[in-house]
Amino acid sequence: MARKLRNNGEFKEDWRRLIPPLVANAADIPHLEAPRVQLETVDTEVEDLLAQQASLTAQKQEISRRLQVRTAEGRRLATFLRTGIKQHYGIRSEKLAEFNLQPFRGRKKVAPEEPEEVPQGV
């Protein structure tokens, strides 16, 4: 019963165990020579691709770290600039809308509540 292979490393190991006996018995099975050569080519290419993948994974992690640092720096700078704009123009200036900031327009007045009528005792 054949076992199921799950990842690229297991496939490559399986191929590496398969190729030497094919080479050793090439005289007995000449019709399998061309596919064996193709498998060796595929094996070499898969090895190169796995190396590239590992390199790109490392690059992706480094880029993710750099992106996180730069994003945090950008957020801090944007907050600093918004505060400076508010300080320069004032919090009530309509000029703030040009910078996509909400000017302070005061609080909405709440209508005074009328006291509830209390029924007189009977």
What residue numbers bound the domain in which 49 lies? 8-99
pLDDT at 94: 93
Look at residue 18 and tell me if it is in a domain. Answer: yes
Q: Which helix (H) or strand (E) holds 42?
A: helix 33-89
Amino acid at 37: V
Structure confidence by residue, pLDDT tens digits, 51-91: 999 999 999 999 999 999 999 999 999 999 999 999 999 99
> For residues 29 and 117, what is the distance between their CA atoms, to the nearest angstrom?
106
Look at residue 87 and tell me if it is in a domain. Answer: yes
pLDDT at 41: 95
What pTM does this model have?
0.55
Look at residue 72 and tell me if it is in a domain. Answer: yes
> For residues 83 and 89, what is the distance between their CA atoms, to the nearest angstrom?
10
Look at residue 117 and tell me if it is in a domain. Answer: no
In this predicted structure, the answer to whether residue 3 has a pLDDT above a threshold of 70 is no
Tell me 36's DSSP state.
H
Look at residue 19 and tell me if it is in a domain. Answer: yes
> For residues 58 and 86, what is the distance between their CA atoms, to the nearest angstrom?
42
Look at residue 81 and tell me if it is in a domain. Answer: yes
**Total domain count, the chain:** 1
pLDDT at 121: 66
**Mean pLDDT on 94-116:** 85
Look at residue 2 and tell me if it is in a domain. Answer: no
> For residues 90 and 83, what is the distance between their CA atoms, to the nearest angstrom?
10
Dihedral sign for Cα 57, 60, 66, 69, please: negative
Look at residue 1 and tell me if it is in a domain. Answer: no
Structure confidence by residue, pLDDT tens digits, 8-63: 878 888 999 999 999 999 999 999 999 999 999 999 999 999 899 999 999 999 99
Over its C-alpha atoms, the chain yields an Rg (Å, rounded) of 36
